[in-house]
Amino acid sequence: MMVVESEAVVLCAQDYGESDRIVTFFSVEWGLVRAMAKGARRSRKRFVHAFEPNSVVQVGLRQRRALSWVESCRLVEGHLALRSDPLRWAYAGLLVETTLRLNPENLPNPTYYVLLRSGLARLGTDRDPANVAALFLVRAMRILGALPSLEGCCQCGPTMAEASLWRLSLATGRFSCGAHSAADKEGIDLDKGAVALLQAMLQAPLEKIWRFRLRKRAVHGLIKAVCAWVEDHTGQSLKSRRLLHRMETGPEIPAPSPTSAALVVSP
C-alpha cells in the first residue's frame, strides 16, 4: 500500500506495548484518524518531537489491514507560545478534547481543520484565550450542524430588532426571544449586542473570526453551554473543562478584570 501524506494536528498520543505509540491526529485528508507509530518510544530519532499534542505536523500514513501506520511525521509548527503558558495550554486542551469527542473517525472535514489550526495558533498570541475558545466552540458547533439558527426567534420569526434579550439552548436546539424562552430553562441568555456579534462571526471567513470580542459573561456562558452539550451528547466528562475551572477559581490565577463595557471589534 502506498503512503499518503497530509497536514494534521496531533490531538493525543498513548504508549502501546514496549516500543510503540498510538497517535490520534486531526488531518486535512482523513479528518480524525488513529495510527500506530512503530518503534516511536524506542527510537527518538525517527519521529523527532513529532507527537506532542497541539503540534501541526506533516504525517505520512500507510493503510495496512484495518490499521493506519505512521511512516513519517515531520513537525511543521510546535506552538511554543502555548507550551510556556499553563492557561493557554489548558484552553488548547479544550479545543483538542472537544475535537476528539465531536468528530467521527475517518470523515474528512477540511473546514473544521482550518478552524482548529487557526484557533490553536491564535491561542498562542491573543490577549484573551477564553474569548478565542468561545469563538472556536461556537463556530465548531455550526460546522458540525449542532448550532440552531440565530437569525430570529424559533417561535415568532425574525424580529431581531424588537427583542433585547435572547436565549440559546443547545439541548433543545432552540433560539428564542425573551417572550418565548421560558421552556428552555438551561439555555444561555444573550443580549442583542452579543447575538449581532455572533451572527457576524458565523458569517466571517474562518481565519478572521478571532478579531470578534465577546463580553466576559457571554464568553464564559458560551464555553459552559457548549461543554455541557458535549458532555451530555457523548456521556463523557471533559477533563480540560475541569482543569480550566480549577485554574480560574484557584489562587494561582488572578481574578478576571471587571466586565468590559462595550463589545469591541478591532480592525
Query: Near Zn ion by CB under 5 A, which window of 75-83, 172-180, 184-192, 200-208?
Result: 172-180
Among 177, 188, 201, 226, binds Zn ion (CB under 5 A): 177
Give 130 or 177: the residue with its C-beta nearer to Zn ion: 177
Q: How far is the CB of 192 from Zn ion (least distance, A)?
A: 13
Least distance CB 169 / Zn ion (angstroms):
13
Report 145-164 residues binding Zn ion (CB under 5 A).
153, 155-156
Using CB under 5 A as the binding rule, whether residue 81 contacts Zn ion is answered as: no
Nearer to Zn ion by C-beta: 90 or 177?
Answer: 177
CA atoms within 13 A on the CB side of 122: 23
In the bound state, the residue with its beta carbon closest to Zn ion is 153
Part in contact with Zn ion (CB under 5 A); list of ranges 53-61, 171-179, 213-221, 251-259: 171-179
Residues in the chain: 267
Min separation Cβ 179 and Zn ion, Å: 5
Q: Which amino acid is at 236?
A: Q
Nearer to Zn ion, 119 or 152 (CB): 152
Considering the complex, what minimum distance in angstroms separates the CB of residue 162 from Zn ion?
9
Single residue of 41, 180, 192, 224 touching Zn ion by CB under 5 A: 180
Tell whether residue 168 is a contact of Zn ion (CB under 5 A): no
Beta strand 212-213 with 264-265: parallel, antiparallel or unpaired? Answer: antiparallel
How many chain residues bind Zn ion (CB under 5 A)? 5
Closest distance to Zn ion from the beta carbon of 190 (Å): 14
Residue 31 Cβ, how far from Zn ion at the closest point, in Å? 37
Beta-carbon contacts of 245 under 8 Å, excluding residues fewer than 6 positions away, are none
Site of interaction with Zn ion (CB under 5 A)? 153, 155-156, 177, 180
